[in-house]
């Protein structure tokens, strides 16, 4: 039998247990009430605030891509255009938590998995990292399809439809669409696109689920219309490349001008490169040699020596110059012709390409007179095309001339110029003595009219006389018979110059040159050709460079529908040129 104390102890324990049970129940009920109250507060009072906060965590400002402006020929044929591509990107924080997906995407993109992981870990604090850029859109979609944490970004890739044919002029951009060479660099600000920005809501997979607002509108770049006629550019490129191969030459350039407007219709170089495939490009291939490389033009300068003398009234067409015995001594150095031509008139000096005759004419002028005339014709100054790296050539002031410099200047030694400068100078003869600023951009009719009143640097009568003399150079007794074009009267001059080195000239390395005008009765086209170091099948300008001129000009006159001016046709006879 329990004693009284045990009974009391049991009663106290029962009361305690009952009290604790109700206390626990009260606490639980209180917590539940608190949760319900909090939930009701959040759902009713804080609903708008919390919803906006959730949206804010998914709102992103993303870029709206825009097209870079196109580069076109004078008729709208594309030379450089932008095509849509997709780039693959990831959020390192997301993709590093799913290494299986990263391994899968690395394999598809032909990336080294370990290198990719290392790279992403180094950039783990970022939210946006490219894995591979500028992929064909269909391939990019296949790569990213079904892989969590891998996204696509639309971009534009620069494509050059004409490839190497016009690469030196157009240039190229880098992967971020910034101009690096050529017109892409010159007109970067004009061509550049201005991407837009828009605010969107993205889900956790990076997909846009709602467009919220346009922050800034995208602005595509402006187009550039060049002066180039791609029909003529293709012909010039093909002809030059064939000549370089046939004569096993080191390099070459050619420039074709509209004689009336000063527009560059074609400008080509060898060696060239394809801007769509840049992995194997060498630095030497990137130069636009027609504008950046200079050379001593040799006999191609003789028409301007004659023009300087005619302009100052020192000579007339029939003036006689005795070139006997085929050489002359100047300051202990011999100026030579390939044979003794005896007494020549001015057309004869050009027709026979007499160094002695040209030197005698040059020496009869004061150094300042000859220098001023050559300077007026554009030697020693840029051509006006505003191209990166263009050379102004080398043309010393007459105050630095020695008697030998004075003499050799008359036949193109002691000075250097680019083939574009030479073409521009022949444009003076074609354009009745007016020097035009050349242009790589298409000119509007009003601009062409303005160009027609460009500064006179040669008397119109002198230009006509020299033009007529140059037709004899292309005639049966001249050095440029291979430049003749059936049905057309062609004027031009050959040049063959030894290449200079430190302390003198290389013995067997030459530059072959021809510059000409067609048709001579009403000039429409001017073209200059330079072949550097021909080593096979001749090296004279009349044999190496003149045939390039003939092929391009004959096609150009037909394409431009220029009527013949010399029927019956000129006879073609092969012969050497000076």
Residues linked to residue 495 through DSSP beta bridges, in sequence order:
513
Three-state DSSP string of 453-470: CCCECCCHHHHHHHHHHH
Integer Cα distance of 176 and 158 in angstroms: 10
- Show the tokens assigned to 312: 């100052």
- Show the tokens assigned to 118: 């290392």
Bond into 519 cis (ω within 30): yes
136: helix, coil or strand? Answer: coil
Integer Cα distance of 101 and 79 in angstroms: 41
- Show the tokens assigned to 122: 């180094």
Backbone angles phi, psi at 333, to 5 degrees: -115, 145
- Show the tokens assigned to 289: 């040699």
Bond into 555 cis (ω within 30): no
- Show the tokens assigned to 446: 């009003």
The closest of 489, 460, 459 to 472, measured between CA atoms, is 489
- Show the tokens assigned to 223: 């187009």
299 annotated active-site: yes
Three-state DSSP string of 295-359: ECCHHHHHHHHHHHHHHCCCCCCCCCEECCCCEEEECCEEEECCCCCCEECHHHHHHHCCHHHHH
Which among 106, 253, 299, 383 is annotated as catalytic? Answer: 299
Burial of 290 (0-12, 13-18, 19+ CB in 10 A): buried
Q: Are 528 and 254 in contact (CB under 8 A)?
A: yes
Q: Are 144 and 261 in contact (CB under 8 A)?
A: no
How would you classify the pairing of strands 208-216 and 150-159?
unpaired
The upper half-sphere exposure of residue 221, i.e. CA atoms within 13 Å in the direction of its Cβ, equals: 24
Element (H, E) at 290: helix 289-292
Catalytic positions, please?
299
């Amino acid at each position: 039998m329990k004693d009284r104390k045990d009974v009391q102890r049991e009663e106290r324990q029962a009361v305690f247990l009952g009290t604790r049970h109700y206390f626990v129940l009260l606490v639980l009920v209180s917590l539940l009430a608190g949760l319900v109250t909090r939930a009701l507060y959040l759902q009713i009072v804080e609903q708008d605030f919390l919803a906006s906060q959730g949206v804010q965590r998914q709102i992103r400002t993303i870029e709206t891509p825009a097209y870079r402006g196109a580069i076109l020929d004078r008729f709208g044929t594309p030379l450089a255009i932008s095509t849509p591509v997709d780039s693959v990107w990831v959020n390192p924080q997301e993709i590093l938590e799913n290494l299986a997906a990263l391994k899968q995407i690395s394999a598809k993109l032909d990336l080294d998995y370990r290198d990719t992981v290392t790279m992403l870990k180094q950039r783990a604090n970022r939210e946006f990292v490219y894995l591979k850029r500028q992929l064909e859109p269909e391939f990019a979609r296949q790569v990213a399809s079904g892989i969590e944490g891998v996204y696509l970004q639309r971009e534009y890739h620069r494509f050059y439809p004409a490839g190497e044919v016009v690469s030196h002029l157009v240039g190229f951009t880098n992967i971020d669409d910034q101009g690096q060479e050529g017109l892409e660099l010159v007109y970067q600000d004009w061509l550049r696109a201005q991407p837009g920005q828009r605010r969107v809501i993205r889900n956790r997979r990076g997909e846009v689920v709602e467009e919220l607002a346009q922050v800034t509108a995208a602005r595509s770049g402006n187009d550039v219309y060049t002066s180039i006629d791609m029909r003529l550019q293709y012909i010039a490129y093909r002809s030059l490349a064939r000549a370089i191969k046939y004569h096993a030459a080191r390099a070459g350039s050619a420039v074709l001008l509209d004689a009336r407007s000063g527009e560059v219709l074609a400008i080509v170089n060898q060696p060239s490169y394809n801007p769509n495939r840049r992995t194997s490009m060498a630095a030497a291939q990137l130069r636009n040699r027609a504008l950046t490389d200079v050379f001593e033009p040799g006999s191609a300068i003789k028409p301007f020596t004659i023009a300087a003398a005619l302009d100052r009234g020192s000579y007339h067409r029939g003036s006689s110059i005795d070139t006997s015995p085929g050489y002359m001594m100047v300051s202990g150095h011999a100026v030579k012709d390939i044979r003794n031509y005896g007494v020549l008139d001015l057309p004869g000096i050009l027709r026979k390409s007499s160094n002695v005759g040209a030197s005698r004419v040059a020496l009869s002028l004061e150094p300042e007179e000859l220098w001023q005339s050559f300077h007026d014709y554009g030697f020693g100054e840029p051509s006006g095309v505003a191209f990166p790296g263009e050379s102004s050539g080398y043309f010393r002031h007459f105050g630095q001339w020695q008697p030998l410099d004075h003499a050799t200047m008359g036949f193109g030694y002691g000075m250097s110029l680019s083939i574009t400068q030479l073409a521009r100078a022949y444009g003076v003869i074609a354009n009745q003595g007016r020097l035009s600023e050349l242009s790589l951009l298409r000119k509007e009719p009003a601009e062409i009219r303005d160009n027609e009143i460009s500064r006179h640097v040669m008397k119109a009568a002198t230009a006509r006389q020299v033009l007529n003399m140059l037709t004899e150079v292309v005639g049966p007794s001249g050095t440029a018979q291979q430049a003749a074009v059936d049905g057309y009267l062609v004027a031009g001059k050959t040049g063959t110059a030894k290449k200079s080195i430190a302390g003198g000239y290389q013995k067997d390395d030459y530059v072959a040159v021809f510059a000409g005008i067609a048709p001579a009765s009403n000039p429409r086209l001017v073209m200059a050709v330079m072949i550097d170091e021909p080593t096979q099948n001749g090296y004279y300008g009349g044999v190496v460079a003149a045939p390039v001129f003939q092929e391009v000009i004959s096609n150009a006159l037909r394409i431009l529908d220029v009527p013949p001016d010399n029927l019956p046709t000129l006879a073609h006879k092969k012969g050497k040129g000076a």
